[in-house]
Amino acid sequence: MARIKKVPQRICVGCRQTRGKKELIRIVRTPEQQVVIDPTGKRSGRGAYICRNIACLQAALSGKHLQHALKSEVPSEVVEDLIKSLSGEAN
């Protein structure tokens, strides 16, 4: 009998919807207190997840949900990188 593999679920900090971990972008605060985008999803540190659309990113930033989830300020370079990657994926 084949076992069904369980898909890890995470909640987007922007829209608060549960999605599969692979569908989301992970932003992590590392043990060195740096905030970075984690494309592998395996970096150590405190992570927050966001959907791959610009509206969720804007909602997470305007409501300070992303900063609250990471318990740290998000540098403008990280926000710019997220916007670039999301607009690149939208096209």
- Continuous segment of H or E residues that includes residue 46: strand 46-50
pTM: 0.89
**Could you give all domains of the chain from N- to C-terminal order, each with its CATH number?**
9-90 (3.30.1230.10)
Residue 53 to residues 4, 49, 82, 89, Cα–Cα distance (Å): 29, 12, 10, 8
User: Which one-letter DSSP state was computed for residue 4?
Assistant: P
pLDDT tens digit sequence for 23-52: 999 999 999 999 999 999 999 999 999 999
pLDDT at 90 over 80: no
Strands 25-29 and 35-38: antiparallel
**Contact, 11 vs 49, CB < 8 A?**
yes
Q: Bigger pLDDT: 90 or 9?
A: 9
